[in-house]
Chains A and B, each alone.
Chain A
Amino acid sequence: MEVTEVVAIDHGLKKDEFSKICELLKRTPNLTELAIFSAMWNEHCSYKSSRKHLKKMHTKGKQVIQGPGENAGVIDIGDDDAIVFKIESHNHPSFIEPYQGAATGVGGIMRDVFTMGARPIANLNSIHFGSPQHKKTRNLLRGVVKGIGGYGNCIGVPTIAGQTTFDESYNGNILVNAMTLGLVNKNKIFYSKAAGLDKPVIYVGSKTGRDGIHGASMASATFDDKIEEKKPTVQVGDPFTEKLLLEACLELMADNSIIAIQDMGAAGLTSSSVEMASKGNLGIELNLSEVPCREEKMTPYEIMLSESQERMLIVLEKGKEEHAKKIFDKWNLDFAVIGKTTNSKKIELIFDNKKVAEIPIDLLAENAPIYDRPWKKTKLPQKLKFDKDEFKSLKLSDCLKKILSNSNISDKKWIWDQYDHTVMGDTIQKPGGDAGVVRVHGTDKAIAASVDSSALYCFSHPLTGGKQIVCESYRNLISVGAKPIAITNCLNFGNPEKEKNMGEFVECVEGITEASKYLDFPVVSGNVSFYNETKDRGIKPTPTIGGVGLISDYRQMLTMDFKTEGNLVYVIGKTDGHLDQSIFARELLNEKKGPPPTINLFNEKNIGETVLDLSKKKSYCELP
Chain B
Amino acid sequence: MRSSVIIFPGSNCDRDMDVALKKFGFKNQMVWHNDQSIPKSDLIVLPGGFSYGDYLRCGSIASKSKIIKSVINFANSGGLVLGICNGFQILTETGLLKGILQQNKFLNFICSNVFVKVKDKQNKYFKDLKKDILELHIAHNEGNYFCSNDELKSLEDNNQIAVTYCGEDGTENETTNPNGAIKNIAGIFNNNKNVLGMMPHPERMIDKYLSGEDGSLFFKNILDNFK
Interface residue from A149, A153, A425, A430 paired with B206 (Cβ < 8 Å)? A425
A298 at the interface (CB under 8 A from B): no
Name the distance in Å between B188's Cβ and chain A's nearest Cβ.
Answer: 23
Identity of the chain B residue whose Cβ is nearest the Cβ of A157 in the assembled complex: B12
A243 at the interface (CB under 8 A from B): yes
B218 at the interface (CB under 8 A from A): no
Name the distance in Å between B204's Cβ and chain A's nearest Cβ.
Answer: 5
Residue interface bits B1-45, CB-to-A below 8 A is 1, else 0: 000000001101101100110000000000000000000000000
Q: Are A422 and B203 in contact (CB under 8 A)?
A: no
Query: Given that A240-B55, A243-B12, A243-B50 are known contacts, is A422 also in contact with B209, CB under 8 Å in the complex?
Result: no
Interface residue from B49, B111, B211 paired with A417 (Cβ < 8 Å)? B111
Q: Are B111 and A425 in contact (CB under 8 A)?
A: no
Residue interface bits B191-217, CB-to-A below 8 A is 1, else 0: 000000000010110101111000000
Interface residue from B19, B53, B209 paired with A623 (Cβ < 8 Å)? B209
Report the Cα distance A416→B108, complex, angstroms.
11
A420 at the interface (CB under 8 A from B): yes
A238 at the interface (CB under 8 A from B): yes
Interface residues of A in 132-191 (CB under 8 A from B): 149-150, 153-156
Identity of the chain A residue whose Cβ is nearest the Cβ of B107 in the assembled complex: A146
Q: Are A423 and B13 in contact (CB under 8 A)?
A: yes
Identity of the chain A residue whose Cβ is nearest the Cβ of B12 in the assembled complex: A156
Q: Are A422 and B210 in contact (CB under 8 A)?
A: yes
B98 at the interface (CB under 8 A from A): no
A426 cross-chain contacts in B, Cβ below 8 A: 210
Q: Are B111 and A418 in contact (CB under 8 A)?
A: yes
A428 at the interface (CB under 8 A from B): yes
Identity of the chain A residue whose Cβ is nearest the Cβ of B139 in the assembled complex: A420
Query: Given that A423-B204, A554-B209 are known contacts, is A417 also in contact with B16, CB under 8 Å in the complex?
Result: no
B117 at the interface (CB under 8 A from A): no
A427 cross-chain contacts in B, Cβ below 8 A: 210-211
Q: Are B210 and A423 in contact (CB under 8 A)?
A: no
Q: Are B9 and A623 in contact (CB under 8 A)?
A: no
Identity of the chain B residue whose Cβ is nearest the Cβ of A446 in the assembled complex: B209
Q: Are A425 and B19 in contact (CB under 8 A)?
A: yes
Q: Are A332 and B9 in contact (CB under 8 A)?
A: yes
B74 at the interface (CB under 8 A from A): no
Name the distance in Å between A412's Cβ and chain B's nearest Cβ.
Answer: 14
B146 at the interface (CB under 8 A from A): no
Report the Cα distance A64→B104, complex, angstroms.
44
A332 cross-chain contacts in B, Cβ below 8 A: 9
Most chain B beta carbons < 10 A, residue from A418, A423, A427: A423
Report the Cα distance A149→B112, complex, angstroms.
14
Most chain A beta carbons < 10 A, residue from B20, B53, B110: B53
A214 at the interface (CB under 8 A from B): no
Identity of the chain A residue whose Cβ is nearest the Cβ of B211 in the assembled complex: A422
A419 at the interface (CB under 8 A from B): yes
Identity of the chain A residue whose Cβ is nearest the Cβ of B9 in the assembled complex: A244
Interface residues of A in 581-624 (CB under 8 A from B): 623
Report the Cα distance A561→B206, complex, angstroms.
22
Interface residues of A in 409-455 (CB under 8 A from B): 416-428, 430, 439
Binding site for B on A (CB under 8 A): 149-150, 153-156, 238-241, 243-244, 331-332, 416-428, 430, 439, 554-555, 557, 623
Binding site for A on B (CB under 8 A): 9-10, 12-13, 15-16, 19-20, 48-50, 52-55, 108-112, 137, 139, 141, 201, 203-204, 206, 208-211
26 contacts between A and B (CB under 8 A): A149-B109, A153-B50, A153-B109, A153-B141, A154-B50, A154-B54, A155-B12, A156-B13, A156-B49, A156-B50, A239-B53, A240-B52, A244-B9, A420-B139, A422-B111, A422-B137, A423-B13, A423-B16, A423-B139, A424-B16, A425-B15, A427-B210, A427-B211, A428-B209, A554-B209, A555-B209
